Amino acid sequence: MTDAKTQTGAVMALIVLATVVDGMDASIVNVVLPDISRDLGMSVSSSAFVSVAYLIPIAGLCLAFSKLAERADIRRMFLVGTAVFSLASLGCSTSSSEGILVLMRFVQGIGATFMVATTPIMVVRLLPEDHRGRGMGAIAAGSGISVIIGPTIGGLIGDVLSWHWVFLINIPLGIALAIAAIALLPRSGPEVRARLPDVPAMLLMFVGMGLVMVSLYGFIDGYLSGPAVVAALAAGCVLVVASVIRSGRSDDPLVHLDLLRNRRFATVTMIFMASTMMGAGVMYLLPYYLSMAEGLSPFQIGLLLAGASVITVAMTFPTGRWCDRRGCRIPASLALALRVAFSAMLAVIDPALGMGYILLVLAIMGMSFGISGTSQSTRMLEESPDEYSGEAGSMAMMINYVGYAFGLVAFAIVFMLLNPGGWMDFDLMGEDQFMAGFHGACLFGSVLAAVALMASLAVRGRESRSD
């Protein structure tokens, strides 16, 4: 029993470490993008590709690599990921041009995808079934920790050293992950040679998700015009649908249509998407409010958001235990109710309400994020047939990235439509113009969370079903 508990704890610790490294790399680079742009002669719009190039492989290949992880030796696959990630990080740090850096970021994203794709499979294959909630909580905790330390470390490195060290720091981290994987992960997987699922479907999904990501970030950062955004987004969605249709006709599908046809699974997946979109949108706009309306410095904003993230991390494992023992319907619905509450509070916020009001909002937001990240993803596992549990976990990981991108765009559109000044840079807005857009976007978030809450309550939980 002790050995089983030790193995369970070791796997969960590795999941946290891998998620921290991935999440930190995704966030730490944004802090030093201005320095990178100046050194390599990049425009503000083209510098966005440094971030997009990393996210495209994760969004487009996560399902395929997770399928591979189900069939392969997880330890070997994880080690391949850490090696590719570390070597590409070295390439990023020595890049002398925009093209090389973007290419190395893309390769780095492939390495990260190997690692990210194995984490839900570790939860399903290496943890006891009654620990799956805590396993998904480990993923959520790692994401929360990366939000806390990523921007802080990035800012410190940018001030003291140079942007090259943002990538060089990944090399010792990658080595540490590899050592931990060798020590903690058992050899597992079938004896037969592992293979990727339906390759044409995988390529359609990869290209489709790439177009979706490029179009959404192109819209936010302004390097694509309106018609180009619509065309790229439409083409990406068509290719993703084509990938799913292809899977339905394949003997080795990338996505099983039986899983997508499962009404409860499809519903909780859409709820998770809406929840992720809402959280991403608020986190996108909130720092602007704290800066423009409250007059806080970047350091003060970082401290406030770090405090909320600490609450998020603290809520993940208790929520995981709750899901393991009693099911996910109640905590998932509670998280959405908290999202309705804090977004409604932001929809009427005013500097006159004082710092106490802001701290209360951030506390509720931190609790919501911690409960939601664990319960919503675990609920996808809970509502999937056992034979598709690995696939369900992989889809939950993909929803995190795609929902984040969709949330940024949705809130940006609502903000600009409700801003009296129309489509303009934040720096050019007056406080009244900004507040009109901010209040409207947060009200939109509250409505989105309320709709998701009603849908969540309508789906019977494991504890209330006899089937």
Q: Which of 23-37, 323-337, 451-465 ranks highest by mean pLDDT?
A: 323-337
Question: What is the mean predicted confidence (pLDDT) over 126-134?
Answer: 74
Dist CA 391 CA 378 (whole Å): 12
Give the confidence band of 166 by pLDDT, cuts at 50, 70, 90. confident
Question: What is the mean predicted confidence (pLDDT) over 379-385?
Answer: 81
Q: Which of 113-127, 168-182, 341-355 ranks highest by mean pLDDT?
A: 341-355
Lowest-confidence range among 14-28, 61-75, 136-150, 363-377? 136-150
Q: Which candidate, 169, 141, 191, places its Cα nearest to that of 29?
A: 169
Can you count the helices (H) and strands (E) in the chain?
A: 16, 0
The pTM of the full predicted model, rounded to 2 decimals, is 0.80
**Residue 40 vs residues 35, 46, 70, 101, 184: alpha-carbon distances, Å:** 9, 11, 41, 9, 41
**What burial class does residue 259 get, using C-beta atoms within 10 Å of its C-beta: 0-12 exposed, 13-18 middle, 19+ buried?**
buried
- Please state, as a whole number, how many other Cβ atoms lie within 10 Å of the Cβ of residue 130: 11
**Residue 138 vs residues 28, 79, 184, 317, 361: alpha-carbon distances, Å:** 21, 20, 16, 7, 25
CATH topology match: 1-193 vs 255-467: yes
Give the confidence band of 4 by pLDDT, cuts at 50, 70, 90. low
pLDDT of residue 281: 85
Domain ranges of the chain: 1-193, 198-253, 255-467
CB proximity list for 400: less than 8 A, separation 6 or greater = 143, 276
Give the end-to-end CA distance of the chain in Å, rounded to a whole number: 31
Question: What is the mean predicted confidence (pLDDT) over 170-176?
Answer: 88
Question: What is the mean predicted confidence (pLDDT) over 439-466?
Answer: 83
Residue 359 has pLDDT above 90, yes or no: yes
Could you give the percent of the chain with pLDDT greater than 70? 86
Q: How many CA atoms lie within 13 A of 462 on its CB side?
A: 20
Q: Which candidate, 355, 313, 364, 361, places its Cα nearest to that of 336?
A: 364
Give the confidence band of 85 by pLDDT, cuts at 50, 70, 90. very high
Give the confidence band of 86 by pLDDT, cuts at 50, 70, 90. very high
3-state SS of 414-451? HHHHHCCCCCCCHHHCCHHHHHHHHHHHHHHHHHHHHH
Could you give the percent of the chain with pLDDT greater than 90? 16
Residue 423 has pLDDT above 60, yes or no: no
pLDDT of residue 155: 64
Residue 223 has pLDDT above 70, yes or no: no
Residue 342 has pLDDT above 90, yes or no: yes
Tokens of 290: 């704290």
Give the confidence band of 465 by pLDDT, cuts at 50, 70, 90. very low
Give the confidence band of 422 by pLDDT, cuts at 50, 70, 90. low
pLDDT of residue 421: 62
Question: What is the mean predicted confidence (pLDDT) over 428-438?
Answer: 78
More confident residue, 132 or 294: 294
Question: Could you say which architecture CATH assigns to the domain 255-467?
Answer: Up-down Bundle (1.20)
Dist CA 205 CA 123 (whole Å): 24
Handedness of CA 207, 211, 213, 217 (dihedral sign): positive
Q: Which candidate, 441, 391, 435, 383, places its Cα nearest to that of 415?
A: 441
Q: For domain 1-193, say whether CATH 1.20.1250.20 is its number.
A: yes
Residue 344 has pLDDT above 90, yes or no: yes
What is the CA 244 to chain-centroid distance, rounded? 22
Tokens of 15: 């999941």
pLDDT of residue 119: 82
pLDDT of residue 217: 76
Question: What is the mean predicted confidence (pLDDT) over 11-19?
Answer: 81
Q: Which of 26-40, 351-365, 366-380 ranks highest by mean pLDDT?
A: 351-365
